């Protein structure tokens, strides 16, 4: 049988976050990362966005495992929703697996611990058709790993989020020797991080960042309120070190932070000097110049919490004169406006703001020079830029061409693309697509909010809603009571009484016209009211609210209710038996060799 090798772009290109890719070798599929992204302002009411779960519906029986590169939400955030329905083994480093368990059990407390497997950079896993190995990478969280899938066509290497920093601590350091060893093999394709491809300046060494944070704390006259992402453990460690060196005590706030810090401490990934942490009740007794408040906010996003502090709506902390707010993470382009708004609120409350990202060029992702260096080391035949918006993928492509790769050997893909390898022509080519749409998470709903619902929400946010209620007697073909109209987010009713009166007259005219010239139909009469009102309101206001007609009928409902009540009284009572449904699940066996 001829071998088959495919590279599937399930999610994570032409966008920031939501990383998920897959390599298929014959009848086995290896999924690389399973992340989420937080919605932008166009996704009204959406809590989270994850990759298309239809992929697992179609290919779930072929998926032999999900392999994680690190413990950030863009790598592990979709796991709760995948494992809710599919028992798929998950592989990752010790810290990554512990953070994945925290993430999964927040949404799915019944998830089996037996699905999680801890591996390290020395682990090799042999499957029927491929071999999976790992290599250490530098990122803002320890125990980050890249993944090497050994296929009959060569190595498929996925970096995950990475950068190069020779001064990084041992638990954060990239293994260049291991990369060189992979480069000596035939590397078929490199799936490489593009998030920071447009950066022309090198990333500042983390050692220098640590010294800068210490100086900020030392020069602060009052409290220091640090805003950082909970999973950015390298920054958390630098904050703890700076507080210790300057004689300050640290209060941890935020549900995510407490769990992550506790887990990292237990595993030895965070060093917290004895007596450094304080409790909420110690806050009043600790002088401002000895206090550091480490705030991460819900789901690792601290900006909302800072705004609440500035507005005096936070449950524990209120920003006052003399406070220094230190934003210790580099915000993405999508939240720069929110950062500016938050800073303005802090200054109004009497505090000051320092942003690490403005003072130092720091990122957890590879610069353009780093990407070119990786290409020189790995020497891939094909490059697939991933993890980044479209412009970043194109910049990555240009960098690769300057590093010596041919233009035709670089693939700018979109979510849902599937690349298949032709063993005869030694080429990758696009084949039938795989599911690559977004799955929206809204409250407890998974995927039940689609484009139509989002469009309605957008219209509601723009022009509001206009509701018309009318009661009719279809037998007598007349309106029983004066129609009632109201609106929300459209116009101020008291100042637009004439518009409301004209709308009522239009509703009467439309319904009477329907009675006279059409055969009665519920759908048609509502549509007539909607169409006429939409045209009228736009002509009067130049706005297009959502028009919701409610047409009710007298007599008929009472007659039907009496018939239903009488039939219930006459019917004999029956004993109800509830069937018992027993589900049986199989167990997947994985051969694991070191």
The structure tokens listed for 54 are 């239809």
What are the chain's domains? 5-200+363-446 (3.60.15.10), 206-358 (3.40.50.10710), 464-556 (3.10.20.580)
Give pLDDT tens digits along the chain (594 positions).
689 999 999 999 999 889 999 999 999 999 999 999 887 666 656 778 899 999 999 999 999 999 999 999 999 999 999 998 899 999 999 999 999 999 898 877 778 889 999 999 999 999 999 999 999 999 999 999 999 999 999 999 999 999 999 888 888 999 999 999 999 999 999 999 999 999 888 889 888 999 999 999 999 999 999 998 888 899 999 999 999 999 999 998 866 677 888 889 889 999 999 999 999 889 989 999 999 999 876 555 688 889 999 999 888 899 999 999 999 877 666 677 888 899 999 999 999 999 998 888 888 899 999 999 999 999 999 999 999 999 999 999 999 999 999 999 999 999 999 999 999 999 999 999 999 998 887 665 565 555 556 566 666 767 788 999 999 887 888 888 889 998 888 887 778 889 999 999 999 999 888 888 877 787 888 999 999 999 999 898 888 888 999 988 876 555 455 455 655 555 554 443 444 343 433 434 344 444
What three-state secondary structure class fits 92?
Answer: strand
Would you list which residues are annotated within the binding site for substrate? 361-365
Would you list which residues are annotated within the binding site? 361-365
- DSSP H or E stretch at residue 303: helix 303-310
* Contact by Cβ (8 Å): 33, 191: no
Q: Which long-range contacts (CB under 8 A, 24 or more apart) does 207-215 make?
A: 207/167, 208/360, 209/235, 209/238, 209/356, 209/360, 209/362, 210/238, 210/241, 210/242, 212/356, 212/359, 212/360, 213/238, 213/239, 213/241, 213/242, 213/326, 213/328, 213/356, 214/241, 214/242, 214/245, 214/246
Angle, CA of 54, 125 and 380, to the nearest 5°: 75
Q: Please give the distance of CA 155 from its chain centroid, rounded to a whole number.
A: 29
What three-state secondary structure class fits 8?
Answer: strand
* Contact by Cβ (8 Å): 111, 71: no
């Amino acid at each position: 049988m001829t071998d088959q090798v495919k590279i599937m772009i399930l999610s994570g290109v032409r966008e920031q976050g939501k990383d998920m890719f897959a390599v298929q070798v014959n009848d086995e599929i290896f999924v690389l990362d399973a992340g989420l992204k937080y919605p932008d302002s166009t996704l009204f009411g959406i809590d989270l966005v994850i990759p298309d779960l239809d992929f697992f519906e179609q290919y779930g029986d072929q998926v032999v495992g999900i392999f994680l590169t690190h413990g950030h939400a863009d790598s592990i955030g979709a796991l709760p929703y995948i494992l809710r329905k599919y028992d798929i083994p998950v592989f990752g480093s010790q810290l990554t697996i512990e953070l994945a368990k925290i993430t999964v059990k927040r949404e799915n407390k019944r998830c089996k611990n037996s699905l999680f497997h801890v591996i390290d950079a020395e682990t090799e896993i042999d499957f029927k058709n491929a071999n999976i190995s790992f290599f250490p990478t530098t990122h803002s969280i320890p125990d980050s790993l890249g993944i090497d899938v050994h296929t009959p066509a060569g190595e498929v290497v996925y970096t995950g989020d990475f950068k190069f920093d020779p001064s990084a601590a041992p638990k954060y350091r990239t293994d260049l020797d291991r990369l060189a060893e992979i480069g000596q093999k035939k590397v078929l394709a490199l799936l490489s991080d593009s998030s920071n491809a447009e950066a022309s300046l090198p990333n500042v060494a983390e050692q220098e960042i640590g010294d800068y944070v210490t100086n900020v704390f030392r020069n602060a006259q009052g409290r220091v309120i640090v805003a950082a992402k909970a999973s950015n453990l390298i920054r958390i460690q630098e904050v703890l070190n700076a507080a210790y060196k300057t004689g300050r005590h640290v209060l941890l706030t935020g549900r995510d932070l407490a769990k992550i810090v506790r887990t990292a401490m237990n595993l030895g990934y965070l060093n917290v000097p004895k007596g450094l942490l304080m409790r909420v009740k110690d806050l009043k007794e600790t002088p401002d110049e000895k206090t550091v408040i480490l705030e991460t906010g819900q789901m690792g996003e601290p900006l909302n919490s800072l705004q609440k502090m500035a507005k005096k709506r936070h449950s524990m902390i209120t920003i006052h004169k003399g406070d220094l707010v230190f934003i210790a993470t580099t915000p993405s382009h999508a939240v720069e406006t929110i950062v500016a708004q938050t800073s303005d609120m802090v200054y109004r409350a009497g505090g000051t703001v320092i942003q690490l990202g403005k003072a130092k060029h720091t990122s957890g992702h590879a610069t353009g020079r780093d990407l070119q260096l990786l290409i020189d080391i790995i020497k891939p035949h094909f490059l697939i830029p991933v993890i980044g918006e479209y412009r970043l993928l194109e910049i990555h492509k240009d960098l690769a061409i300057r590093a010596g790769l041919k233009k035709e050997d670089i693939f700018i893909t979109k979510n849902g693309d599937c690349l298949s390898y032709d063993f005869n022509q030694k080429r990758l080519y696009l084949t039938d697509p795989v599911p690559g749409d977004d799955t929206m998470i809204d409250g407890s709903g998974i995927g039940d909010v689609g484009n139509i619902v989002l469009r309605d929400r957008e219209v509601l946010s723009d022009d509001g809603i206009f509701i018309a209620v009318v009661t009719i007697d279809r037998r007598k073909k007349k309106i029983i009571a004066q129609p009632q109209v109201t609106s929300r987010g459209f116009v101020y009713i008291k100042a637009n009484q004439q518009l409301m009166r004209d709308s009522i007259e239009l509703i009467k005219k439309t319904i009477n016209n329907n009675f006279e010239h059409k055969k009665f139909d519920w759908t048609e009469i509502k549509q007539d009211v909607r169409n006429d009102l939409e045209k009228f309101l736009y002509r009067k206001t130049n706005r297009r609210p959502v028009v919701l007609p409610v047409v009710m009928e007298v007599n008929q409902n009472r007659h039907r209710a009496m018939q239903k009540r009488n039939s219930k009284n006459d019917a004999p009572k029956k004993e109800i038996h509830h069937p018992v449904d027993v589900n049986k699940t199989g167990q997947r066996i994985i051969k694991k060799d070191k």
